[in-house]
Structure formats: structure tokens, C-alpha cells
A and B are shown apart, each in its own frame.
Chain A
Amino acid sequence: MSSLTVSDPTADLPTRPGLGDTVSQTVTLAWRATMKMRRSLEVMFDVTIQPLVFTGMFAYIFGGAISGDVDSYLPLIIPGLIGQTVLTACVATGVQLRTDMDTGVFDRFKVLPISRIAPLAGPMVADLLRYFIASVLTFAVGIAIGYRPGGGVPGVAGAVLLAMLAGWSLAWIFTLFGIVGRNAQAVQGISLLVMFPLTFLSNAFVPTETMPGPLRAFAEVNPVSLVITAIRDLANDGAVTGDVGWALLGCGVVIAVFAPLSVRAFNRKM
């Protein structure tokens, strides 16, 4: 093909992108998302600065009150903070998708012969990196202030993997808000309204036993609680318990409900 010719319009053309194309387009768009993270580092504050500050703050403020002393609070709070930080990172996933969809480049994605789902899947894959950074940093700060995870390296590695999977699953909720929200501010607003109950009506910071009945009932089926319990089992005991299974099921339910809704809403906008 020389630059003096155009491609033949009468040749047979595929009517839809293949699975291989979809995967490679998703990887390419994930690359684009990571370039964006590198160029504007402020989008990484929620997974870098926040775990650094929150971990120390929560451990020293609530440690004495809840567990008697800071050291015995750490095995409770570190997995809790991982759950909380990953959830915050999910909110950013939705807000950034909205911001991105409002830029001109999305118009080009729409008119390119690419899989309709790749522009959604790409950033979601790239965000796995953010959940990874958030959970590793939280563990690191915890260890620096005296946390000794009983599960050792395999337990912590398993906990990080679970946190990433949980982040990816919960992100579908905020992705849906990102797609249907009118603008980035609206998405941010509604996401925070959903994020706070999910975070605080959970076992992230306190044991659920002291909560009043209805709140406790919610806190115990809250997927965030399930994930945090599983992270505690993995990191503190190195045990793959039934709670890990419940956490995976919880994530599965979130995906089963919100992924189809998001994909449908997204396709309508693409």
C-alpha cells in the first residue's frame, strides 16, 4: 500500500470485530489510560496520598478506643482501610470515565471500527493498577507502624489480589453512574452518596456486633464487609476460608447486576 492509494471500498468487510480484536483494542486503551495516569499524577492521589494519611490517622485515632491499643487494632483496621481505599478508587473510575466520555477523543472512538466495549474495558483494566497500588501501600504503611500480618507473604499477596478483584467488581457500580450521570460533578455527588454507606455500614472500622439490628443486617451482607473479612482471613491467618468464597460470591453478584446495566447504558451512548 503506497500513500497514493486508498483502500478498496468494495472488498468484503467484516460486520463485527472479532474477540481477538476486542482484546487487543482493550489492551491498547488500557495503555492509553496508564499514559494518562503518568501525565497527570493528581489522579493518583486517592491511591497514594490517601492510604498514607488515612492509615496512620485511623490507627492512632480509633486504635485505643476500639481495640484497647493501636497494635491490636492494626489487624482489624488495615484490611478495613484497604476496602475503603479501593472503594474510593472505584468512585474515581466512574468520575474519570464521565470526564473522558465528554472529551472529543470519545467521538473518535465511536466512529472507529472498533469493539463498542473496548473504550469501557480499557480504563477498567488499567484501574487494576490503581487498586494494586492502593492495597500495597496500605499494607506497607501498616507494616511500618507495627502491623505483622500472620498470613506472611502468600497471605498478603492473596489479600492484594482479592482487593484488586473486589475493586474491579465494585467499580461496575460507579461505572454505571459514570455512564448515566449528566456530568462529572453529578457522578461524583451520587457516587459519594453511595460510597459512604457502603464504607461505614461495613465492618471496615468497627466490629458489627455493636450496631443496631437493621444496620447490622446490612453491614453483614454488604459486599464490602465480605471482602474485608476475606482480606483479614488471608492476611492475618493465611487461611482460605469460607469467607473468601462469600467475598467472591459478593463480587460476582455485583458484577452480575451492574456489568450488564453498564454495558447496555454504554452501548446506547456509543
Chain B
Amino acid sequence: MTTHDTDLAVRATGLVKQFGDQRAVDHVDLEVRRGEVFGVLGPNGAGKTTTLRMLATLLHIDAGEATIFGHDVRAEPHAVRRLLGVTGQYASVDENLTASENLWLFARLQGLGRTEARARGAELLEQFDLAEAARKPISAFSGGMRRRLDLAASLLTRPPLIFLDEPTTGLDPRTRGQMWDTIRDLVRTGCTVLLTTQYLDEADQLADRIAVIDRGRKVAEGTADELKSSVGQSALQLQLADPADLPLVEQEVRRLLGEEAVLTPEARRVNVPLTRTDQSVDVLVALRDHDVVIESVTVQKPSLDEVFLALTGHDTHDAERDDVAPPAQADQADHTDHTDPQMEAAR
């Protein structure tokens, strides 16, 4: 164990995971400092969960290095497991047991004595607002209750590092808010949290720093503000009648705003980053003066889609679609075509 590494909860360099001829994770570097919430943001199939599972000893690391508080993930999996709490996308609790039996089981498995296991279980059920449901079968639990129980089960031994894999995917907005509060409380106890999410909003709410992952690669890293400013505070989306007008629009945007518009020729779409929403008027007026026919106009706050579009040149749905496409084609389409300046800057 090297002592200088323990300032970092997670250090991963050049992580690679290959599934058949598809590279699910492609040389990802991550550094998570102790005590911070680090968000891994990306669409479905981007490689977030695969990365997390490799760090959690659940998947073999094909290439690269990973340490958790200085312990090598491959060489010392047992030590790493002692430092980790993992809560997955799907609640990993025993459906045949009650909530308190589940906690008792996991506490006993981790070496807590009978009395201690019972006390710690009761304490967590109380803390997670599940005390009343302690003796109910899990099958009667709502989605939010399951997630809370799952999280409670990860905290029995007070691990210093928690992995949360899409902690709120599939939850209704109110339950999502409660989950966010729970995660914030967790950080206050001194936990380091590594979470994955598909929602910029969630990363924005919780994470100190965010890495954006797309098709197995890290395409950007920074605070939520840094990421958002890379796409402008909001964005003007235009749909043109004639794709031949695209170069003109690009040129006008550069002249008026000094920004690079993101073009999607197949959809005749233009995405213009705005630092102020009223700039959209300048763009629209200029385009009318050039007789550009516009089919639709929207002004939006940056969403994950915009961040993605700006960073990678394709939107999140493309990533999902390529996920099921033949891997070789997906790779070519991705990594050779798009070398736009913002993506380069992000690296």
C-alpha cells in the first residue's frame, strides 16, 4: 500500500473493458478525491455502469490500473470490498426476507455480532424512514423504499466510499428529491461518493465534479458550471427548411456571437449556444434578413442532450441506438468523424 495515494478515494488510469469486439470502456481515467461527490454522467450504454462495476471488483479489468484508497482493485479485491458500499440500478436485496431481516443478513455476513447487527439495522431503518415497514415483505415495497433499503444495506459497516449506480433512475420526482437529500446527508458523515447518472440535473444537484462519458470514453470533466458554460447558459435550436442554408447560419452565428453553432445536417438542425437568452433575437433577425426559412425555433436551458451535442457532436439517443448497432460500425461512426473543437478542448 502506498501512502501518498490515500488522498484519493479512487484512482483509475486507462481503464479498458472489452465485450467481444465492442470496447465498452475505452481508456477512462478517473480521480475521486476523499470527501467529494463525483458524478459520472452519460447516456444509457455509455459505459458508466461497466466502469463502476470494474472499480467495485464485479467485472474483470481488461487493461489499466485502479486503486481504491491505495488498494489495487485487481490484486486486493477483498480489501477493496471492505471499503466499499455499492448500490446498483436494481435493488439488490432478498425478496423473500423482510427489511430488517435483510439488514441483519448483510450485517452478519460482514462480521457484526448478533446484537450489534440488530442495533445497526434498526438505526438505519429509522434513519431511512423505513422503521414502520421493517417487518413487511420486500414485495410490498415501493420503488423508492427499495432504493432506500438498498442504500441502507450498503451502509451497515460505514464504508468510507459509496458507489451509487443511477440512484434515482425510474423514481418519481418527489422520491428523487428525497433520495438527493439522503445522499447529501451521507456526504456530511464523511463519505466519498461516486455516482453515475443520466441526468445533468442530478449531477448538477449533487456532484462536486463531473466526468462526461460517451461510448466508453471520457469526453469532458469539470464542475457542473464549467460543463454548462461549455455549451452556453441556454441554447437556441433551429430547424431549417433547406439544409443549404446551414453554412450561412454557421457564419452568421460566428459573426454575431463569436460562438460555434453545432450543425446536424441530416435533421437540418442548428444548435446555437447562448450566453444570454435575448441573443436569440439577434440571430433570428439576421437570418430573416438573409431570407433563411426557419421551420421551428426553441430556446432551451442546457440539458444533457445539449451538453452531449456540444461535446460529442451527436445526441444521447444516437448513443443508445449505436449501442445495439453492430459494434464495428458504431466505433467508426463515433471516433473518426467528430473532432470538433469543443471536444478537443474538453480532452
The one of B79, B92, B93, B105 that contacts A14, using a Cβ cutoff of 8 Å: B79
Task: Decide: A15 near B94, CB < 8 A? Known: A5-B190, A114-B110.
Answer: no
Bound complex: CA A104 to CA B78 (Å): 20
- Which chain A residue shows the least CB distance to B84? A111
Q: Do the beta carbons of B110 and A40 come within 8 Å of each other?
A: no
Q: Chain B nearest CB: distance from A17 CB in Å?
A: 7
Please encode chain B, from 68 to 83, with 1 for each CB lying within 8 Å of some chain A CB and 0 for all others. Answer: 0111000010110111
Question: Given the complex of chains A and B, what is the CA–CA distance between A103 and B137 in angstroms?
Answer: 16
B157 interface residue, CB < 8 Å from A? Answer: yes
Q: How far is the CB of B162 from chain A (nearest CB, A)?
A: 9
Shortest distance between the CB of B87 and any CB in chain A (Å): 9
Whether A32 lies near B127 (C-beta < 8 A) is no
Majority-rule SS of B interface residues: loop
Residues of A104-155 at the interface with B, using a CB-CB cut-off of 8 Å, are 104-114, 118
A residues in contact with B95, CB < 8 Å: 103, 105
List, in ascending order, chain B residues with CB within 8 A of A10's CB: 3, 6, 69-70
Tell me how far the C-beta of B104 lies from the nearest C-beta in chain A, rounded to whole angstroms.
9
Kindly list chain A residues whose C-beta atoms are within 8 Å of the C-beta of B153: 108
A8 to B9, CA, bound (A): 12
A7 contacts across to B, CB distance below 8 A: 157-160
Bound state CA distance, A239 and B6, in angstroms? Answer: 66
- Residues B97 and A32 in contact, CB atoms below 8 Å apart: yes
Instruction: Tell me, in angstroms, the Cα distance from A113 to B80 when the chains sit together.
Output: 8
B140 within 8 A of A: no
Give the residue of B88, B106, B137, B159 whose beta carbon is less than 8 angstroms from that of A6.
B159
Collect the chain B residues with CB atoms within 8 Å of residue A111's CB. Answer: 56-58, 81, 84, 86
> Counting CB contacts under 8 A, is A210 at the interface?
no
When distances are taken between beta carbons in the complex, the residues of chain B under 8 Å from A103 are 94-95
Which of A21-29, A53-61, A83-91, A217-225 has 4 or more CB atoms under 8 Å from chain B? A21-29
Q: Is the CB of B160 within 8 A of A15?
A: no
Contact: B78 with A16, CB < 8 Å? yes
Interface centre among A8, A32, A39, A114 (most CB of B within 10 A): A32
Asked if B123 is an interface residue, CB under 8 A from chain A, the answer is yes
CB of A108 within 8 A of CB of B106, answer yes
Distance to closest chain B CB from A255 (angstroms): 26
Could you tell me if A5 and B94 are in contact, using CB atoms closer than 8 angstroms?
A: no
Do B69 and A36 touch (CB < 8 A)?
Answer: no
A13 to chain B: which residues have CB within 8 Å? Answer: 71, 76, 78-79, 82-83
Q: Which of B102-135 contact A (CB under 8 A)?
A: 105-106, 108-111, 123, 127
Docked-complex contact B81 and A113, CB < 8 angstroms:
yes
Whole-angstrom CA separation of A113 from B56 in the bound complex: 11
Contact indicator A35/B86 (Cβ below 8 Å): no
Point out the residues of chain B lying under 8 angstroms from A4, CB to CB: 189-190
- Chain B residues 171-206 with CB under 8 Å of chain A are 189-191
CB nearest neighbor in B for A109: B109
Given contacts A7-B158, A104-B93, contact A25 B88 (CB under 8 A): no
Indicate if the CB atoms of B160 and A105 lie closer than 8 Å.
Answer: no
Complex contacts, A25 vs chain B, CB 8 Å: 109
